[in-house]
Amino acid sequence: MDRSVLFTPIKLKNITLPGRIVRAATEYFCASVDGHVAECEYTVYQSLGRQPLGMILTGNTCVSPEGRSNLWQNALWDDAYIPETRRIAEAAQACGVPAVMQLGHGGSRGEGNNGGLRVLTPDCMTIQDIKAVVHAFRDAALRAKQAGMRGVMLHCAHGFLLSQFFYPAYNHRTDRYGGSAENRFRIIREIMEAVKNACGDDYPLFIKINVTDVDKTDSYYTDLVTVLTTSSDLLDAVETSGWDAIENGVARRPYFIDVVRRLHNDVEVTLIEVGGFRDAHGMLSALQAGASAVSISRPLLREADFATRIRDTVDAVSKCKGCGFCLNPLDTTTMIRCPFAEK
Ligand SMILES: Cc1cc2nc3c(=O)[nH]c(=O)nc-3n(C[C@H](O)[C@H](O)[C@H](O)COP(=O)(O)O)c2cc1C
């Protein structure tokens, strides 16, 4: 496979991506305390929008106040956030790359981050709480659509609320939201249906989900296959992350490629693989394994034009060393996430 394939369009169900390299959802941790977007964040999206990317996923944007997972997270829990969401959409999409908004609820990560509001976990939530969360995702998705986002992605990975529902270790419910794989996935399924009802069947919908649990068990994998098989009708694509989503150090190979290869054989759903892509070779191996696209986060923090380098330079390798500084609060006012990034 030639690396030019990374820059050819691919049609998903309801959206055509102009290329196969996606900007993975990446928070900049610089919003105001009430979740308003910082001025400097628009510049990042303008810059990303000029790159030969297939899609730009926004950072994890919170759907309700108690679900804040850090102190500087962007919000979309009220119509007041629509104009700034529109500015992100316009900045990112100025040159034709579609922007898709990632929506999330932090669940237990609300502790210490949600201004003292009640912290939600799968075990403590009433049916009313579950309904309220479903409605919060639905309403935020509709706002994203009104703001011009080309689709939404539900953050069902990395230990946030929806991810906790799906992990048996975090979900001990004995009602219809706990127990079997279908039950533990039910809240996600209900959100997907609510989003489709509100935004229309043809509004692009993605989920990001862990394809591994901490012990990489077969039972987790089998559960995943079960729920993805029954939900593929609603999804444009699934972004495949995992328990160890952000490995430190220089990435040697894409982390989840073996599971993606298996999933490609076991489920009829479009896959976008994320984690550890640092050169065209890794990206092409993911496409060969069955992914339709790949997504990258830290390489674009290090070099905003990394996708351009991949396109224009043979053997281009990311300068990201996986030092982990981008995950620490650096200077939240100037939004420098990578201290080594070229200006
Ligand atoms: C600074 C930073 C912020 C991130 N923010 C998000 C986020 O908002 N939503 C999400 O799903 N993943 C987030 N991630 C995880 C990335 O999307 C990605 O899954 C992970 O970094 C592995 O990809 P990489 O090796 O290309 O960095 C973040 C990662 C970093 C380093």
Domain architecture of the chain: domains with CATH: 3-327 (3.20.20.70)
CA proximity to 212, closest of 255, 171, 155: 255
The owner of tokens 């987790």 is: 220
Interatomic CA distance for residues 52 and 57, integer angstroms: 14
3-class SS string, 138-169? HHHHHHHHHCCCCCEEEEECCCCHHHHHHCCC
pLDDT computed for residue 335 by the predictor: 62
Instruction: Extract the tokens encoding 249.
Output: 């150090």
User: What number does the ligand 1 atom closest to the CA of 59 have?
Assistant: 8
User: What number does the ligand 1 atom closest to the CA of 300 have?
Assistant: 26
Residue nearest to atom 23 of ligand 1 (CA): 275
- In this structure, the dihedral spanned by the alpha carbons of residues 129, 59, 211 and 153, taken in order and rounded to 10 degrees, is 60
At residue 158, what are phi and psi to the nearest 5 degrees? 60, 25
pLDDT computed for residue 92 by the predictor: 97
pLDDT computed for residue 336 by the predictor: 62
What is the Å distance from ligand 1's center to 25 Cα? 6
What is the Å distance from ligand 1's center to 241 Cα? 9
Contact 300, 326 (CB under 8 A): no
Number of alpha helices (DSSP H) and beta strands (DSSP E) in the chain: 10, 11
What is the Å distance from ligand 1's center to 101 Cα? 14
For residue 233, the Cα-to-chain-centroid distance in whole angstroms is 19
Q: Which of 26, 161, 320 to mutate to test the pocket of ligand 1 (most atoms within 8 A of CB)?
A: 26
Interatomic CA distance for residues 58 and 89, integer angstroms: 9
Residues with CB under 6 A from ligand 1: 24-27, 59-60, 102, 155, 157-158, 208, 241, 245-246, 251, 274-277, 296-299, 326-327, 337
3-state DSSP assignment of residue 108: helix
271 beta partners? 238
Interatomic CA distance for residues 307 and 163, integer angstroms: 30
Average pLDDT by stretches of 10, the chain with 343 residues: 96 98 95 92 95 98 97 96 98 97 98 96 98 98 98 97 97 98 98 98 98 94 98 97 89 90 98 97 98 97 96 96 81 69 74
**End-to-end CA separation in angstroms for the chain:** 33
What is the Å distance from ligand 1's center to 175 Cα? 33
Q: What is the pLDDT of residues 54-67, one digit of tens each?
A: 999 999 999 999 99
3-state DSSP assignment of residue 208: strand
What is the Å distance from ligand 1's center to 326 Cα? 10
3-state DSSP assignment of residue 331: strand
Residue nearest to atom 4 of ligand 1 (CA): 26
Half-sphere exposure of 312 (CA within 13 A, CB side): 7
What is the Å distance from ligand 1's center to 255 Cα? 13
Interatomic CA distance for residues 213 and 68, integer angstroms: 24
**DSSP state string for 42-85:** HHHHHHHHTS--SEEEPPPEESSGGG--STT--B-SSGGGHHHH
Is this structure's pTM higher than 0.95? yes
